[in-house]
Amino acid sequence: MIKDIITQVKEIDKNILELFKERKILLNNSKNVEFYSYNKEFIKSIEEEIFSIVKIEYDNEKIVYLGPEGSYTQEAAINNFGIDNLYYSVNSIKNIFYEIDENRATYGVVPIENSSNGIVGDTINCFNSYNLNIIGETVLDIHHTLVSNCSRVEDIKIIYSKDIAFDQCSIFLENYNLNEAKYEYVDSTTKAAKLALQTPNSAAICSNLAARTNNIPILFNNIEDNKDNKTRFFIISKKTTKKTKNDKTSIIVQLPNKYGCLIDFLNDFKENKINLNKIKSHIVKGISTFFIEFDGHKDDSNVKKVLSKHSNNIKVLGSYKKEIEDI
């Protein structure tokens, strides 16, 4: 799987170099000053794009993700960090936080929300329990595949997958009468692929990466109901990131259960001209908790006013470069 990615990247790099050679020839044949001015601006924009892609400085770092191998979280990790790092998986979000807290990994990749299913409660709970920083975000398009050793759909009697994957593929399953098969719920789509590989007359709903990793035939690609299904992931670490010109800050807020308390709190953002991107309520240990995100860095003067005023109620999770408005 990793070798396939390396091959594809090398081919893209080769094509980019060829295009730059053609571009250089065209510019050398032109004596128009405007061309050269445009050339400098274009090269500058390319440099900025390259540096924006390399979000985090890293070299052979240990990165922990929610496994097993072939999971969507692994795919998000590779998309963010590239392939030249030491990846390993654990079986829960809590264990990702634990591994970083114990200095066994430098970075972790955790899901925070899905466009179809909302906020991931386990991740919010862990932010309450551990003092780690969000240093980045990455978004992955979620596409499901149906894999099986069966050559005919009508031979499939059992389907393995996570409950959430079944829900996200209900239209496809019904259209192919697969809703009449026995659904076996497992804790990961990669495990589902492994079981389908070993079990006669069975299939699995999993990621394309899990299918390739387990070398099981793909019968159908992109079987999800919502073709715009996305999951956002946080990059977490004990490290922090430098301030940029386009930052986002995430916080957790616990407020007294009093009349008008939340409105008064949110008005402080309005008065300081801070744009709120997201506010989600969540119950943590029986306490009403709010997960809030807004434009700006925690060190911005207007943001510092709000954070300082409500320091007893706010836990800052991190300020990081904004990659997306929302999913």
Spatial contact of 122 and 89, defined as CB atoms under 8 Å apart: no
Q: What is the pLDDT of residue 11?
A: 76
Query: What is the pLDDT at residue 257?
Result: 79
- The one-digit pLDDT tens for each residue of the chain (327 residues) are 455 665 676 678 777 777 876 776 676 666 554 554 455 556 656 655 554 444 445 557 899 999 888 889 999 998 898 877 889 999 999 999 999 999 999 999 999 999 888 899 999 999 999 999 999 999 999 999 999 999 999 999 999 999 989 999 999 999 999 999 999 999 889 999 999 999 999 999 999 989 988 999 999 999 999 988 899 999 999 999 989 989 999 999 998 878 888 999 999 999 999 999 999 987 767 677 899 999 999 999 999 999 999 999 999 999 999 998 888
The pLDDT score that the predictor gives to residue 30 is 60
Residue type, 162: K
Alpha-carbon distance 217 to 150, whole Å? 9
297 with 318: CB under 8 angstroms? no
Q: Nearest-5° angle of CA 287, CA 97, CA 160? A: 90
Q: For residue 28, how many C-alpha atoms fall within 13 Å in the half-sphere facing its CB?
A: 6
Residue 157: closest CA among 177, 172, 171, 175: 177
Strand ranges for 120-178 from DSSP E: 133-141, 145-148, 158-161
285 CB contacts (<8 Å, ≥6 apart)?
Answer: 128
CA distance 90 to 233: 16
In degrees, rounded to 5, the angle at the alpha carbon of residue 163 between the alpha carbons of residues 160 and 164 is 120
- For residue 110, give the nearest of 66, 70, 172, 59 by alpha carbon: 66
Cβ-based neighbour number of residue 104 at 10 Å: 12
**10, 82, 115, 91: which is closest to 235 by C-alpha?**
82
φ, ψ at 185 (rounded to 5°): -85, 130
> Which amino acid makes up residue 121?
G
